[in-house]
Copies of this chain bind each other. A is one copy, B any other.
Amino acid sequence: MPDTRERDRFLQFLRTRGLRVTQERLALFDEIFAQHKHIDAEELLAAMKTRGLKISRATVYRNLDLLVDCGLVRKQRLGRDRFLYEHVHGGQHHDHLVCTVCGRVVEFVSPGIVALQAEICRAHGFQASRHTLQISGLCNDCAGAQPVLQSVGAVKEGAARV
């Protein structure tokens, strides 16, 4: 069980807040740490049902927010209408490239950008608590396959990768 550290952190978080350690919370934790992609609440719910776990939609949403507060999960809109969740491992912050055709999400890390952001915050007397950088466009595959017709926003999100 490689997620022991995170699991402990979650338990710690619950206790210090006087929250209860429920079956559902543990199951949700396990599920999202078993997933290695950006996933939305509905998919998460479905995945858990498939495994025979009983949990309701409301509980999934409620506890995802809890995991976000705890800092173990990141919640973002990556080009879609719904939120996508990803568990945070080591803690290295990364940003995203999102393909507007196939929906593929590529993560990247840029210390340079992080440094510049810090500088900007300093210049504006702004105390940053988080940031999101999202670059959307065409991924390698889709750029090759597509004609260069792209009227902005013409292609609706969420299509499967062709």
Contacts and interface: CB of A to CB of B under 8 A. Distances in A.
Interface of A: 65, 68-69, 71, 77, 97, 99-100, 106, 108, 110, 112-113, 116-117, 120-121, 123-140, 143, 150-153
Nearest to A115: B112
A125 B100 CA distance: 14
Given A68-B152, A100-B129, A152-B69, A135 B112 contact: no
B112 A139 contact: no
Contact of A129 (B112, B116, B152): B152
Contacts of A110: 116, 120
Contact of A131 (B121, B124, B125, B135): B135
A151 B121 contact: no
Q: For the complex, would chain A's binding face be called helix, strand, loop or mixed by DSSP majority? A: mixed
A8 B93 CA distance: 44
Contacts of A123: 108
Interface hub of A106, A123, A125, A150 (most chain B Cβ within 10 A): A125
Nearest to A70: B152
Contacts of A71: 152
A19 B71 CA distance: 48
A136 B126 CA distance: 9
Contacts of A151: 69
Contact of A117 (B68, B121, B124, B135): B135
A22 to B, nearest CB: 20
